[in-house]
Amino acid sequence: MEYRIEHDSMGEMRVPADSYWGAQTQRSYQNFQIGTEKMPVEIIRAFAVLKKAAAMANCRLGKLDEKRCDLIGQVCEEIMDGGLSGQFPLAVWQTGSGTQSNMNVNEVIANRGNEIAGEKLLHPNDTVNMSQSSNDTFPTAMHIAAVTAIRQQLIPALDAMIAEMGRLEKENEGIVKSGRTHLQDAVPIAFSQEISGWRSMLEKCREMILDSEKGLTELALGGTAVGTGLNAPAGFAEEAAKAVSELTGVNFRTEENKFHALSAKDALVYSHGALKALAADMMKIANDIRWLSSGPRCGLGEIFIPENEPGSSIMPGKVNPTQCEAVTMVAVQVMGNDAAVGIAASQGNFQLNVFMPVIIYNYLQSVRLLADALNSFRTNCVCGIKANREKMNHNLHNSLMLVTALNPYIGYENAAKTAKLAHKENISLKEACVKLGFLTPERFDEVFHPEQMV
């Protein structure tokens, strides 16, 4: 491999000749050979947004000339469009402020920009990082990336699943089945009502996730090193937030208290809590579906789900609820991520939180996994759910909890006696009720209508 010599404030470094990064990136690359997790692409693209926005703000405030501003913007657009993807090799497990990833972006923009210009117009620190610090750029990139991921990945996936649940709900109107509480038989429920519960869970989670965006649209940019705004011109924070909004189409605004913006990560904790709520509901929905489809002969068997692949390497003909299992594993991962995000956010010592890379890595992984799981679950399972009407009807009319309908006519205690006798002697509720002398056969038929209990 061929190398070139780059330098930073600590001296010279050998850097691969075909890379745009410089000495500080190379130091981090060599010093943090930890794990396989790299800085998420969403963060790199968010950095490109904020670097262009910072250049625009500096230009509007007279700190940066238009030629350099345009050059920075050109390279940032290249990064936002997915270019230069091999130029950001740094590990998540680096400095907790994300300084080295900030410098990675600065160096790539500067070197690529100078290549385009054919002359040295950009400096990583003095030009690309003008009016900024890693301490305010990294949390800004975190918020931009989080909001973008929610809007571009998660909300579309949620909307598609909500629509599919609505279709399924309408398709199954009029089907009455046995309800269940405590994994035991309960009074009847319409299958469409059960599905409506799933749909409503997703709708409520959607509302919570969007509500949590408020804190994420507040940006730390302009706080520089410790929140005082040192080396940033007056009005920079407001102009930078305005420029970010122009570039993203999202109404970002500057955080009023930059000391809070740099040292606290509560907005991400709050937002990830909404992601955890979605994970919890997805766990519940997937478990309901695999319980209801269990069998095919020795389980509940009240619904059919798509048969996507063989389920066993030894048991011929076995098919498993694999999509449900994938969803529940994703839910577990998101719940674990929530613990990591919360603990990391608690480590805001004095003027800076230094667990930021692990916070945003987990946050973005949760968004990505939830969105992918929703899409996979919808297309490979939910859209193919069919009611087993025969089994539902059988279970409904064999449920002892239908006796609840008799409470107004024979009382709770007599109804309990009826259910117990029917269970003990394996006879119908009607036979037990008549045998105990609580109702005549004619009166029982008059008042007992399971389909009307929903």
Contact 255, 261 (CB under 8 A): yes
Comparing CA positions, the residue from 80, 101, 96, 81 lying closest to residue 38 is 101
Active site residue 449: no
β partners of residue 387: 303
CB atoms within 10 A of CB 204: 14
Q: Is 184 helix (H, G, I), strand (E, B) or coil?
A: strand
> Nearest 5 degrees, angle CA 100-CA 54-CA 151?
85
DSSP secondary structure, 116-165, as one string: HHTS----IIIIITTT--HHHHHHHHHHHHHHHHIIIIIHHHHHHHHHHH
Query: Catalytic one among 19, 97, 134, 182?
Result: 182
Query: Which residue, 194, 355, 212, 187, is CA-closest to 276?
Result: 212
Question: Both tokens of residue 145?
Answer: 């990336």
Q: Are the C-beta atoms of residues 398 and 378 closer than 8 Å to each other?
A: no
**Contact criterion met (CB below 8 Å) for 414 and 423:** no
Q: How far apart are CA 281 and CA 283, in angstroms?
A: 5
Helix (H, G, I), strand (E, B) or coil at 245: helix
Catalytic residue among 312, 397, 423, 449: 312
Q: Which residues of 115-143 are buried (b: 16+ CB within 10 A; e: fewer)?
A: eeeeeebbebeebbbbbbbbbbbbbbbbb
C-alpha closest to that of 39 among 365, 370, 443, 328 = 365
Whether 312 is a known active-site residue: answer yes
Token output for 261:
């913006």
Name the token pair of 190.
Answer: 């319409």
**Calpha distance 277→143 (Å, rounded):** 20
Q: Which residues of 320-344 are buried (b: 16+ CB within 10 A; e: fewer)?
A: ebbbbebbbebbebbeebbebbbeb
List residues with catalytic annotation: 182, 312
